[in-house]
Amino acid sequence: MKRAFNFSAGPAALPLEVLEEAAAELFDYRGTGMSVMEMSHRSDEFVEIAQRAEADLRELLGVSDDYAVLFLQGGATAQFAAVPLNLLGEKVAADHVNTGAWAKKAISEAKHYCRANVVASSEATNFDRVPPRAEWKLDRNAAYVHIIGNETIGGVEYHDIPDVGSVPLVSDMSSTLLSRPIDVSRFGAIYAGAQKNIGPAGLVLVIVRRDLLGRARADTPSVLDWKLNADNDSMYNTPATYSWYIAGLVFRWIKRQGGLVAMEQRNRAKAQKLYRAIDASNFYRCPVVERDRSLMNVTFTLADESLDKAFVKGAEAAGMQTLKGHRSVGGMRASLYNAVPEAAVDALIEYMASFEAEHGA
């Protein structure tokens, strides 16, 4: 079996151990004579899988009973609409920080339902940073403050949780959740599409403070109504059962690795190594200011853009996949999620050095 070094931003690398476990149980899940894929979501077996996954996730992140945990569908994109629908209540505005492509998508979706204030933006510097908290012009009457915890395309990450007072802080953590410990109690709501550090696509996690439930607009579609889904254990309609099951296996894998503290140590080591190699060269450049560089999505450009194609092609020939940056920004992007081993980063750094030696000035 040949496994690629997979730097995809999502869907992304999963731990081999998880895939092996899933393969071993694929045709006959623990003597049931069927795959988890074929099983009723109301069966005892699946309900146990679902409950265990939630319990393990709560343990990993230290989520208290004050928060509901939902396993929904529609990706983070559905949550761009669900957030205003569920949280506006009587309010007419929400505060947004514009840090790049995903922040913009969240803002344009929120505008369908409310006034989306852009309280700070790094657009003037090409989204190379998180605008410093001191510069945010918050509206005291906003229903919530919305941030993108990690801009997957731009490679910009909040390394500290901003203090926004008593207004609930809502974060899209699609590409950072489970990469390191976080203090969930600082947030009103967190959501994350699964296809980075959690599991396969088709699943989105929502972690929401229970006291914020119950204020959904009357015309909120049922599948997006957090309270309805919380009251029905995320089974108001058929959940993404197989993705939920694989996510449960991933949670157990993370626990076996030593939990989120161990994940952070590894992720910091991987990212630091790669950023160091980029900074040490005159050929590669990271467009993000040092303080706000993402641990998960390392973006970099080559001195000569016309070499991009050759770089990607050579990397593929050497077993490294999906290094091309997002089509909207160009350059390169190496996503270093939990399941990407340090050996993949070492191979990339070695390849970058040899490419530079061949093509650099």
Q: Report the C-alpha gap between 278 and 323 in whole angstroms.
A: 15
Single out the catalytic residue among 95, 128, 172, 292: 172
User: Rounded to the nearest whole angstrom, what is the least distance from the CB of residue 323 to ligand PMP in the complex?
Assistant: 16
Residue in 359, 277, 247 with CA at minimum distance from that of residue 311: 359
Single out the catalytic residue among 56, 95, 102, 225: 102
Task: Report, in this order, helix, strand and coil percent for the chain, each rounded to 5.
Answer: 40, 15, 45
User: Rounded to the nearest whole angstrom, what is the least distance from the CB of residue 48 to ligand PMP in the complex?
Assistant: 27
User: Rounded to the nearest whole angstrom, what is the least distance from the CB of residue 172 to ligand PMP in the complex?
Assistant: 5
**Residue nearest to ligand PMP as judged by C-beta position:** 75
Closer to ligand PMP at the Cβ: 39 or 324?
Answer: 324
Q: Report the C-alpha gap between 111 and 143 in whole angstroms.
A: 13
105 is annotated as an active-site residue: no
Closer to ligand PMP at the Cβ: 32 or 77?
Answer: 77
Q: Report the C-alpha gap between 154 and 328 in whole angstroms.
A: 10
Single out the catalytic residue among 196, 227, 270, 324: 196
Residues that bind ligand PMP (CB under 6 A): 10, 75-77, 102, 148, 152, 172, 174-175, 193
User: Rounded to the nearest whole angstrom, what is the least distance from the CB of residue 45 to ligand PMP in the complex?
Assistant: 27
- DSSP annotation of 33 reads S
For residue 76, count CB atoms less than 10 angstroms from its CB and return exposed for 0-12, middle for 13-18, buried for 19 or more. buried
DSSP conformation letters of 262-303: HHHHHHHHHHHHHHHHHHH-SSEE--S-GGGB-SSEEEEEES
172 is annotated as an active-site residue: yes
Closer to ligand PMP at the Cβ: 241 or 335?
Answer: 335
**Peptide linkage before 11 cis (omega within 30 of 0):** yes
Backbone angles phi, psi at 272, to 5 degrees: -60, -40
65 is annotated as an active-site residue: no
Closer to ligand PMP at the Cβ: 154 or 188?
Answer: 154
Place of tokens 């790049």: 100
Q: Note the helical H segments in 148-235.
A: 226-231
User: Rounded to the nearest whole angstrom, what is the least distance from the CB of residue 93 to ligand PMP in the complex?
Assistant: 22
Closer to ligand PMP at the Cβ: 212 or 240?
Answer: 240
Instruction: Supply the residues annotated as catalytic.
Output: 102, 172, 196
